[in-house]
Amino acid sequence: MKVDHIGLTGMMASGKGEVVKILEELGYKYISLSDIVREEVALAGKSVSRSEMQDIGNRLRSEGGPGILGKRICEKLSVSPAGKWIIDGIRNPHEVTELRNLNPFSLIAVISDRDLILKRLKERLRDADIADNNQLNMRLDREWGINEPEGGQQVGKCVEISDYFIDNNQSLEDLKKNVLKTLKLVEDKNG
């Protein structure tokens, strides 16, 4: 049986985007829970900040249940062509519960040291990332789940329930090796 669904979780700037690139090179198609939030933003017809995107995601979870984004991704994939999918943007354990209905599904956490994440945030020069360390740490804390409601950002809890972990504290070459090693473990488990 081939691996069909791999979910990614981890802090912003932990390297999930690089993992996605590696998996896309291996034939995986990409979808993100953030796509659902972006659809809501498009309905409003305005651009929003990362914090406002988080607020919209929290509102959707409040209105539709904490697993609603995962449920909507499952619905989208049920009418999409079969194949191998990488599902990004998983930030709440209830989303993981919904995504586990995809069979097979494995959740991978991309892990990086906070100091390295702060460095990457400053280097990537996105408007949302331009801030001092105090502001960036507040954003990271929120995403991790500190002072967030059950239906809010809970990346820390998602990491805790992950099936596999990819260390991304070294080079891109090391990351690729770690991804391939983890993918082999996933494939071996799923037969």
Q: What is the pLDDT of residues 146-158, one digit of tens each?
A: 999 888 899 999 9
The per-residue pLDDT for 170 is 95
**101-112 pLDDT, tens per residue?**
998 999 999 999
pLDDT over 90 at 2, yes or no: no
For the segment 13-19, the average pLDDT, to the nearest whole number, is: 96
pLDDT over 50 at 1, yes or no: no
Q: For the domain 5-171, what is the CATH code?
A: 3.40.50.300
pLDDT category at 9 given cuts 50, 70, 90 is very high
Neighbouring CB atoms inside 10 A of 125's CB total 8
The per-residue pLDDT for 189 is 84
Rounded Cα distance between 115 and 135, Å, is 14
Tell me the two tokens of residue 180: 């391939």
Going by C-beta distance under 8 Å and a sequence separation of 6 or more, which residues neighbour residue 183? Answer: 3, 6, 23, 26
For the segment 78-107, the average pLDDT, to the nearest whole number, is: 92
Instruction: Give all strands (DSSP E) within the chain, no chain letters.
Output: 5-9, 29-32, 85-88, 105-111, 164-167
Check residues 44 and 72 and name the one with the higher pLDDT.
Answer: 72
> Average model confidence (pLDDT) for the chain?
90
Specify the pTM.
Answer: 0.91
Confirm if 158 and 91 have CB atoms less than 8 A apart: yes
pLDDT over 80 at 78, yes or no: yes
The per-residue pLDDT for 51 is 80
The per-residue pLDDT for 98 is 97
- Percentage of the chain modeled with pLDDT above 70: 94
Domain boundaries, the chain: 5-171
